């Protein structure tokens, strides 16, 4: 089907596909060709026939995740897949489809073991390690664990730097830009 749109005085033709019906929530819509075939209401991924394409990307019982700083953000399974894929590539892995299947297993495990609605990011990362090891991907698991450790160290360094900056800013005269102060010289405060 060809839709004609008038945008800013220009006629733009966009090709649309057949009407789709979500088997999960019943929502009916007509996606454009360049749009992903995903139900805009419930997030289920579909094929042209309206059937489940694969579990990857489908909504889980978790819609939100708690970050380390306490923020609550949307749950995104693709981040799990990308983390597994990056760890696998670091040790010579080349099968992204396997990373997707493993992320499905992680989500299944989380759904079975976590009772709360909003899991913490650490619980998700622990589950990734467990699934990798249980499926015989010890090298990928090691790479993933080392990556987590490196990022933990970076968070500590950043926290220390911010504390030092705040401490210095408490002793700098009001209105003085810290970028012009020579911190090694006592006379820089006068």
What pLDDT was estimated at residue 49? 43
What pLDDT was estimated at residue 62? 83
Say yes or no to pLDDT of 143 above 60: yes
Whole-prediction pTM: 0.60
Helix pair angle (96-113, 121-134), 10° resolution: 120
* HEC profile of 78-108: HHHHHHHHHHHHHCCCCCHHHHHHHHHHHHH
pLDDT digits (tens, 9 = 90+) for 145-156: 999 999 999 999
What pLDDT was estimated at residue 98? 95
Q: Please, which pLDDT band fits residue 94 given cuts at 50, 70 and 90?
A: very high
Cα separation, 14 vs 8, in Å, equals 15
pLDDT digits (tens, 9 = 90+) for 58-77: 557 888 999 999 999 999 99
Alpha-helix runs per DSSP H in the chain: 77-90, 96-113, 121-134, 138-171
Residues 79/124, Cβ–Cβ less than 8 Å: no
Least confident of 56-65, 86-95, 101-110, 114-123: 56-65
Q: Which tops the pLDDT comparison, 73 or 180? A: 73
């Amino acid at each position: 089907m060809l839709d004609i749109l008038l945008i800013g005085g220009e006629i733009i033709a966009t090709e649309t596909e057949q009407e789709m019906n979500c088997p999960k929530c019943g929502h009916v819509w007509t996606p454009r060709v360049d749009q992903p075939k995903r139900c805009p209401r419930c997030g289920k991924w579909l094929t042209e026939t309206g059937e489940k394409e694969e579990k990857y990307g489908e909504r889980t019982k978790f819609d939100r995740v708690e970050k380390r700083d306490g923020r609550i953000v949307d749950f995104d399974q693709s981040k799990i897949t990308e983390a597994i894929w990056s760890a696998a590539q670091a040790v010579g892995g080349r099968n992204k489809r396997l990373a997707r299947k493993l992320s499905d297993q992680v989500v299944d495990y989380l759904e079975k073991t976590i009772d709360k609605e909003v899991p913490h990011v650490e619980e998700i990362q622990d589950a990734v390690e467990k699934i990798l090891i249980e499926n015989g991907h010890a090298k990928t698991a090691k790479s993933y664990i080392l990556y987590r450790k490196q990022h933990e160290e970076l968070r500590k360094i950043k926290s220390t730097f911010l504390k030092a900056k705040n401490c210095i800013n408490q002793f700098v005269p009001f209105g003085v830009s810290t970028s012009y102060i020579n911190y090694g010289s006592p006379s820089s405060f006068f």
